[in-house]
Structure 1
Amino acid sequence: MTTPPSGPYDGPTPPGQPGQYPPGQPNQYPPGQPGGGFHPAGQIQPGYNPYSQGSSGQGSYRYALPGQPAGYTTRVGASLIDGVLQSLPLGIGLIATIAMHTSDAAGAPLTLGIAGSWVIWFLNRVLQQGRTGQSLGKKMTGTRVISLQTGELIGFGPNLGREVLAIVLNYVCFLNVIWPLWDEKQQTWHDKIVNDIVVST
């Protein structure tokens, strides 16, 4: 004489019931095990950042990058646009100084041009990029500076440090300029120090 099942977990489970997973399916984990559940092949949980590592070294779930790392030529193009913009007052001041070379005030236009160049640098590369992640050059080339840790904008302070580091490192060692050519995440040294990444949006 047999005893009938006394609970919902006794006895065989009818095929197709919730919670049943066909044996041998890909990406299947036994229920109750860490990471248990069923994830369709190729599906990545929302927010996964392949460039982020957790404190345990096992990887972690962060904000997903909003785009792919920007290519080297794209980054160079953005820098050239910003450089041309920044050099405009300097060029005007230099031309005016040459034209006034016989005057006692011939050096004034060049001084004003240098000052104007730094003002444009601050407004474009520090203030604007700190607020939006994009200088004029980055906006025209469709790139943006974001945090590698969170996928969000890095903010005014870190962006200021990033731009100052870029000037120093570019003059100290030319390798900083070409480092993205072989870097896995296409970062410069100042990107690595600030922990940011330039992505195509």
Structure 2
Amino acid sequence: MSFGDPNNPYGQPPPQGGQQPYGYPQQPQGQPGYGAPQGQPGYGYPQQPPQGVPPQQGYGYPQQPGGQYPQQGQMYGGTPPYAHWGSRVLATLVDSLILLVAYLPAVIGALISETAAGIGGLITIVAMIGVVVWLLMEEGKTGQTIGKKTMGIRLLRESDGQPLGFGMAFARRLAHILDSAACYLGWLWPLWDDKKQTFADKVCSTVVVKA
């Protein structure tokens, strides 16, 4: 009595067309995966980006900004590089020297005559306003006046590390009244403050950092 082919113990006839019987793992032969149209990978296959399109980073990867950002890794990735009190004082002195230049027309006019002194005084007023506006524009746009640029420091918003803009730079100058009101204590506050902020910095949410 024969039990059939030892390679086919169940006695089932071999499938036609080279197909595997039920229960055998199906071997793909150049066919796409389950549910996929012809020429495309099936479900569960890694998706390949189209030609000429760079692969995108997955969810959770840090996105790289297209433009510049003011050293976020230094400002917020660790201890912020706050500017020392001494460098801030020297930067203020440099800016004050620029303002003193505006006084020259008045001084020279006073040495000549009363009429020249009056003309020189008007020139001085216009020059001082122009210098102050120019310094505020530079500070608001780049975070640096001439003095701050000389000392290698920069004024930025604490929230995002960006320059303040002209309006906030002007408001911060007005807020320095608070630094002088309490016996000039606000000007000395950066000596022991964790973020080295004056009262004006705290009110306007600004920090002065190393450039």
Q: Determine if the TM-score, normalized by the shorter chain, exceeds 0.5.
A: yes
Match of 2:197 in 1: 187
1:82 aligns with 2:92: no
Q: Deviations over 1:71-130 (max 9, x none)?
A: 00000011000010111011x1232232124x3342220232132112101101x11111
Amino acid of the structure 2 residue aligned with 1:97: G
SS at match of 2:196: coil
**Aligned pairs (5 A) from 1:23-172:** 64=77, 68-90=81-103, 92-101=104-113, 103-124=114-135, 126-166=136-176, 168-172=177-181
**Residue 154 of structure 1: how far off its partner (Å):** 2.0
1:66 deviates by 9.6
Moved more, 64-73 or 75-84: 64-73
Are 2:208 and 1:198 aligned? Answer: yes
Instruction: Pick closer, same or farther for the CA change 1:171–1:97 going to 2, 3 Å.
Output: farther
- TM-score normalised according to structure 1 size: 0.62
Q: Contact (CA 8 Å) 2:155, 2:208: kept in 1 or not?
A: yes
Give SS of 2:115's match: coil
Whichever residue aligns with residue 178 of structure 2, its letter is L
Residue 207 of structure 2 aligns to a residue in which SS? Answer: strand
Q: Is the 8 A contact 2:141 2:165 kept in 1?
A: yes
CA–CA distance in 2 between the matches of 1:157 and 1:66?
28
Deviations 1:152-194 (A, max 9, x none): 222222112112222x335434112211112111101111111
CA distance 1:131–1:70, change in 2 (3 Å): same
Return the letter of the residue paired with 2:190.
P
Q: Return closer, same or farther for 1:159/1:197 CA change in 2, 3 Å cut-off.
A: same
After superposition, the C-alpha distances for 1:40-88 in whole angstroms (9 at most, x for unaligned) are xxxxxxx6798xxxxxxxxxxxx55895110000000110000101110
Gaps of 5+ in 2: 1-71
1:175 aligns with 2:185: yes
Contact kept in structure 1, 2:82 and 2:207, CA below 8 Å: yes
AA partner of residue 112 (structure 2): M
SS class of match (1:198)? strand
Larger relative contact order, structure 1 or 2 (CA cutoff 8 Å, min sep 6): 1
% identical equivalent positions = 28
TM-score under structure 2 length normalisation: 0.59
Alpha-carbon RMSD across the aligned residues, in angstroms, is 2.5
> Do 2:106 and 2:119's aligned partners in 1 also have CA atoms closer than 8 Å?
no
